[in-house]
Amino acid sequence: MQIGFVGLGKMGGNMVTRIHRDSDHEVVAFDFNPKAVARAKKSGASGASTLADLVKQLEPPRTVWIMVPAGEATQSTVDALANLLGPDDTIVDGGNSKWTDDKVRSEVLRKQKIHYVDVGTSGGVWGLELGYCMMVGGPNKAVRRLAPILDVLAPTTSEDSIHSIGKRGWHRFGPSGAGHYVKMVHNAVEYGIMQAYAEGFELFHSSEYELENAQIAHLWNQASVVRSWLCELAARAFDADGNDLAALEGWVDDSGEGRWTLVDAIDHDVPTPALSAALFSRFYSRTDGDYAARVLAALRNQFGGHAVKQAGT
């Protein structure tokens, strides 16, 4: 299969590399940063100098995957591609767009007979080696066409552990918007789990006992009920930055999904006290960051490569 890729940052670049490393699919890659395009070409992709050049290199029906920041960057890219693509082509948004934006875009593109697929993508900077969990929304026809790419990007799974839906690490949840809706709630749940770990490790840090959080995190991953990948990343963070995480500033950003989830919960009268508290704790970290906030910052850096503020800067 041939696919275009727009946006070759931490995740987009790794996805292109994984596709070429693990399959015979062909990628035509574009980014406004020429160095990013050069890296993609080294992994086996064909480089494009402009969006128009990218579309020109693809054979119809074309599929173009966008991996750029949500908001104006995504919208402007969708608009530009809509003027270059034709009937039965597909635009895939693999970023963290709001699901309501997906619904609007899909309706606009449908009038041009262009398909729109939203793929909520989880896996961060580790996806190159471990694969990505993908939550998909969009027309059945376009998703079936995209399936070979999704299969390569998804984690390698043994036959006996595949769910009856037959997908390996991805699933279509409904029409356009459904994928990003599931990913939105996924990220809000992630906030809550991270907050629980952060508060627990802060309690250890304040205890009368001389406890090493790295040792606790490593131990908890040995058949404990609370073992998880985030706990593994906590262990890595403590190994790397020490028990005090002294080099990090307790300032924790949020990328929007937690806020959108709370708004939707209010609209549906669904109580979400844990998710609300987790988001508000991130707000608090920006005015008076504490040890728990340093743990959260370290975890975001570990799984997503998100920037951290170094203490004293």
Can 183 be counted among the known catalytic residues? Answer: yes
Structure tokens at 155: 């984690």
Is 97:67 a contact under the CB 8 Å cutoff? no
170, 155 in Cβ contact below 8 A? no
For 222, phi then psi, to 5°, come to -100, 80
93 Rama class: left (phi>0) / alpha (psi -120 to 50) / beta: beta
**Annotated catalytic residue, options 183, 199, 208, 210:** 183
The candidate with the shortest Cα–Cα distance to 18, out of 5, 32, 30, is 5
- State the SS3 of 28-83: EEECCCHHHHHHHHHCCCEECCCHHHHHHHCCCCCEEEECCCCCHHHHHHHHHHHC
Which tokens is 259 given? 């806020």
d(CA 291, CA 249): 9
Q: How far apart are CA 232 and CA 219, in angstroms?
A: 10
C-alpha to C-alpha distance for 226 and 247, rounded to whole angstroms = 27
User: Which two three-digit tokens encode residue 47?
Assistant: 């480089």
> Which residues contact residue 224 at a Cβ distance below 8 angstroms, ignoring those fewer than 6 apart?
none
> Is residue 190 annotated as a catalytic residue, yes or no?
yes
Active-site residue, from 56, 103, 159, 190: 190
Complete DSSP assignment for 201-217: HHHHHHSSS---HHHHH
Which residue reads 């929304």 in tokens? 137
Q: Which two tokens stand for residue 226?
A: 């609370």
Residues forming the active site: 183, 190
